[in-house]
């Protein structure tokens, strides 16, 4: 298995498939790189080198006690990119991973970056605050924290069986497999890591980071996302990135990497192919 060792000794696991211009995939909470497998296989089979890593505390990476916040997540991503000496990279972030790649650009710039893609992503700021009145009330995130402490196994089942894939909507039936995969990946995360990541994805303000985007950017979001509402996430991010392209998936839930995989795969490939070095 392949690992990168960060400056604090954390082992970050990654999968490196295919050859060609590099694409780096950053996953959501409380998942790991396996959540990207459909996109990673498709893009690798279509001429790209696709790297997907497990965030610290998730999947096969070290379950650290500290560093469960966006600056460290971005530093870990930088460690992977630097270790593999990746250039002209397309960064693709889903949900919390969208925050990770946004903070990476905010902190490290775009010297190695050719394109950026935000998928169902948490920027610019999820939490409702005085200067973000349309955000999600803190009670929602406190509920996630309480559920995590009380019985996180059941919390992950409830998310997968309900809002994550939109299985709680009339007329929608999501197969058992993706729901089981969500639970399995969630339970592979460290308890403290996943708990602290709730604050990282909900309360981090990425507005300043988005202002530093100076590469072609694609924003993809479902308009029935019950986890990161479209108005809070994709619509707001696209408005803050100059020249960003916004694709809205009608009726799309949060987990479009599974529910809309063919559409997403094709949109990602078209965007990748649009780049001229």
For strands 11-17 and 48-53, give the pairing: antiparallel
Cα dist. 109→50, 72, 92, 146, 250 in Å?
A: 21, 15, 15, 36, 33
Catalytic residue among 27, 58, 221, 254: 254
Catalytic annotation, pick one of 54, 225, 258, 267:
225
Q: Is 53 an active-site residue? A: no
SS3 content of the chain, % helix, strand, coil (to 5): 40, 20, 40
Which backbone phi and psi does 272 adopt, to 5 degrees? -60, -45
Helix or strand (DSSP H, E) at 118: strand 113-119
The one catalytic residue in 26, 33, 61, 95 is 95
Residue 168: count other Cβ atoms within 10 Å of its Cβ.
14
If we measure between CA atoms, which residue out of 88, 89, 275, 255 comes closest to residue 161?
255
Q: Could you tell me which residues come within 8 angstroms of residue 176 by beta carbon, excluding any fewer than 6 positions away?
A: none
The verdict on whether 131 is a catalytic residue reads: no
Catalytic annotation present for 61: no
Q: Which residues are catalytic?
A: 95, 225, 254
């Amino acid at each position: 298995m392949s690992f990168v060792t960060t400056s604090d000794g954390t082992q970050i696991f990654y999968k490196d498939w295919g050859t060609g211009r590099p694409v780096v995939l950053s996953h959501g909470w409380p998942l790991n790189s396996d959540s990207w497998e459909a996109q990673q296989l498709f893009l690798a089979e279509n001429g790209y080198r696709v790297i997907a890593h497990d965030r610290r505390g998730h999947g096969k990476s070290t379950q650290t006690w500290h560093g469960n916040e966006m600056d460290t997540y971005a530093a870990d991503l930088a460690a992977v990119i630097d270790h593999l000496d990746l250039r002209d990279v397309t960064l693709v972030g889903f949900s919390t991973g969208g925050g990770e790649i946004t903070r990476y650009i905010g902190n490290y710039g775009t010297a190695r970056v050719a394109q950026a893609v935000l998928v169902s992503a948490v920027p610019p700021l999820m939490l409702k605050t005085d200067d973000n009145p349309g955000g999600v009330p803190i009670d929602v995130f406190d509920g996630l924290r309480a559920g995590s402490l009380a019985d996180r196994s059941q919390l992950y089942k409830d998310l997968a069986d309900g809002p994550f894939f939109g299985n709680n909507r009339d007329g929608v039936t999501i197969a058992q497999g993706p729901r089981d995969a969500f639970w399995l990946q969630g339970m592979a995360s460290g308890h403290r890591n996943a708990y602290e990541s709730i604050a990282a994805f909900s309360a981090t303000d990425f507005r300043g980071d988005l202002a530093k985007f100076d590469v072609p950017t694609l924003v993809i979001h479902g308009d029935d996302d019950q986890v990161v509402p479209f108005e809070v996430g994709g619509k707001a991010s696209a408005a803050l990135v100059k020249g960003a392209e916004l694709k809205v998936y009608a009726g799309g839930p949060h987990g479009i990497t599974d529910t809309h995989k063919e559409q997403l795969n094709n949109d990602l490939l078209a965007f990748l192919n649009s780049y001229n070095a």
